[in-house]
Amino acid sequence: MVGANLSRVTINDTQYTLRLRMKLIIAIIKPHKLDDVRNGLIACGHNAMTVSNVEGFGRQKGRTEIYRGAEYYYDWVPKVKIELAVSDDVVDAVIQIIIETARSSKIGDGKIFVMNLTNAYRIRTGESGDTAL
Ligand SMILES: Nc1ncnc2c1ncn2[C@@H]1O[C@H](COP(=O)(O)OP(=O)(O)OP(=O)(O)O)[C@@H](O)[C@H]1O
Ligand SMILES: [Mg+2]
């Protein structure tokens, strides 16, 4: 990385500076926090997202205790996955809203993953890039 939104890549010995303009935020949260997260995001002007019901486990492997010391049970815990494509200038604010609204301060509160998003298209108009978000 060479700056907040810049990244350098070398292809065939030629160095290019890329401007990373969009991120895909994937948040795995507790289902009962979904309304709070959604309302917090909408209140800050973020009005598009995708939600799915998922199952998973984190460090506790779905349990708060290890059963009989040695045995491990991999239980699937219901979670909600939220996907948001955002422009780089709001990514930090969006992540902060998710953290604040999804937190119960108990184990299993979830994770946020951030990926560079190379493009987006609005199918109806054919627009692309962050104007399509
Ligand atoms: N490394 C990971 N890769 C993919 N999904 C993950 C990962 N870590 C957590 N998840 C997903 O997030 C959900 C919630 O994870 P969780 O909050 O329990 O993480 P944790 O690391 O165990 O933190 P905590 O100690 O606060 O519970 C999991 O059920 C799983 O769906
Ligand atoms: Mg956990």
Is 84 in contact with 48 (CB distance < 8 Å)? Answer: yes
* Banded pLDDT at 63 (limits 50, 70, 90): low
Q: What is residue 69's predicted lDDT score, i.e. its pLDDT?
A: 53
pTM of the model as a whole: 0.83
Does ligand 1 come within 6 angstroms of the Cβ of 60? yes
Atom of ligand 1 nearest to the CA of 81: 31
Q: What is residue 73's predicted lDDT score, i.e. its pLDDT?
A: 55
Confidence check: pLDDT of 71 > 80: no
Which residue has a Cα nearest atom 12 of ligand 1? 110
One-character DSSP codes across 78-111: EEEEEEEEEEHHHHHHHHHHHHHHH--SSTT-EE
Domains of the chain (ranges plus CATH)? 21-132 (3.30.70.120)
Q: What is residue 88's predicted lDDT score, i.e. its pLDDT?
A: 95
Longest CA–CA span in the chain (Å) reads 59
Residue 96 corresponds to which tokens in the numbers above?
């902060």
For residue 33, give the amino acid letter: K
